[in-house]
Amino acid sequence: MYLSIVVPCMNEEDVIPTLVARLSAAITPWCDSSEIILVDDGSTDGTWEAIQDARLLCPDVVGVRLSANRGHQIALTAGLEAATGERIMMLDADLQDPPELLGDMMSMMDQGYDVVYGRRIERQGESLFKRATAYAFYRLLNAMSDVPIPRDTGDFRLVNRTTLDAVLAMPERARFIRGMFAWAGFRQIGIEYTRAPREVGETKYPFRAMLRFAVDAMTSFSTKPLKLATRLSFASLGITALMAVYVAYSLILYQTAPGWASVVLAISFFSGVQLLTLGIMGEYIGRLYVEAKNRPLYFVSEELRDTPSAALRKSA
């Protein structure tokens, strides 16, 4: 069995030695050969040097360096495109997802599953805010999404070649990888684990990035927000009708011009609804624009491996 491990790394210099040591220890009993693909997502610290050092110690390490920071999901895509294994495991650099779960994942796959994903039943060492937003996010996403996306599931998963090739054949730019795997289908199963606290360093997902990620996820997997705009406009029309009755009633009863309050109320309410609707349209139109540009997702500036992968040849 030839296994590829894919790890996106942004400013993770401190964790790389531990990461590689724990990965090699976890892999050895389960496969004859392996590659550990570490993608340097435009780090500003010594991550690339750490990857080079790791390769000296462990020749299975493959380094892929992106020309600039492209974000977690794109760095992961770059690593997946560089992977050559029959089975591919992906995980975060910070060791929040235990590589030791590989054995269980491998035996599930031996039973005939194409995808074995990790489901976190508990998150240690993460702020209440992060846990609460993550909880709300996965529930809202499922309420909105057209395909069921497993809850509390990150990118930690083991997939086989067939499924990976299917996902890599999806050309979209706004990549929400866990959703793309869910959409791809095949036989999937979850395996529960406790999410450990980050080994070292701090989260690379500030609130802004989390929000962006959530909007990408919703709009990539659902057209329901567009329908929501239509529903909202129905509701606002209904309210307009009620207001018209009220205005007519007070005109007749009090013989007064309708008060400025209701005018101001109406204007602000309807401009709010219009702005919201426009905003939702804008999200989709913006996405169409980005997809239509059809730019390469990333460029590889350096690669450390014996035979250059397709990704490197493509950008050369």
Which listed option, ligand UDP, Mg ion, none, makes contact with residue 9 (CB within 5 to 8 Å by class)?
A: ligand UDP
Which listed option, ligand UDP, Mg ion, none, makes contact with residue 10 (CB within 5 to 8 Å by class)?
A: ligand UDP
The residue among 277, 289, 186, 261 whose CA lies nearest residue 229 is 277
Q: How far is the CB of 130 from ligand UDP (least distance, A)?
A: 7
Report residue 164: phi and psi, to 5°.
-60, -45
* H or E segment to which residue 4 belongs: strand 2-9
Does position 71 bind ligand UDP by CB under 6 A?
yes
Task: Tell me the two tokens of residue 131.
Answer: 């846990």
Indicate which single residue of 75, 78, 90, 177 sits in contact with ligand UDP (rule: CB under 6 A).
Answer: 75
Indicate which single residue of 81, 92, 114, 152 sits in contact with ligand UDP (rule: CB under 6 A).
Answer: 92
Count of helices and strands (H, E) across the chain: 11, 8
What track of x and - describes contact with Mg ion for positions 86 through 105 (by CB under 5 A)?
A: ------x-x-x---------
What's the distance, Cα to Cα, between the start and end of the chain in Å?
30
Does position 85 bind ligand UDP by CB under 6 A?
no
Footprint of ligand UDP on 176-215 (CB under 6 A): 203-205
Extended strands (E) in 124-276: 153-160, 188-195
Q: How far is the CB of 197 from ligand UDP (least distance, A)?
A: 10
CA-CA distance, 48 to 248, in Å (whole number)?
A: 72
Burial class (CB in 10 A: 0-12, 13-18, 19+), 223: exposed
Q: Which stretch binds ligand UDP (CB under 6 A): 66-74, 278-286, 295-303, 304-312?
A: 66-74
CA angle 82, 48, 312 (to 5 degrees): 30
Does position 114 bind ligand UDP by CB under 6 A?
no
Does position 11 bind Mg ion by CB under 5 A?
no
CA angle 63, 69, 71 (to 5 degrees): 95
Does position 96 bind ligand UDP by CB under 6 A?
yes
CA-CA distance, 126 to 94, in Å (whole number)?
A: 13
Taking CA atoms, 267 is separated from 96, 262, 263, 279, 293, in Å, by: 50, 8, 6, 18, 38
Does position 54 bind ligand UDP by CB under 6 A?
no
Does position 10 bind ligand UDP by CB under 6 A?
yes
The residue among 60 and 94 lying less far from ligand UDP, judged by its C-beta, is 94
Which listed option, Mg ion, ligand UDP, none, makes contact with residue 217 (CB within 5 to 8 Å by class)?
A: none
Q: How far is the CB of 298 from Mg ion (least distance, A)?
A: 21
User: Which residues contact ligand UDP by CB under 6 A?
Assistant: 8-10, 12, 41, 69, 71-72, 75, 92-94, 96, 203-205
User: Which residues contact Mg ion by CB under 5 A?
Assistant: 92, 94, 96
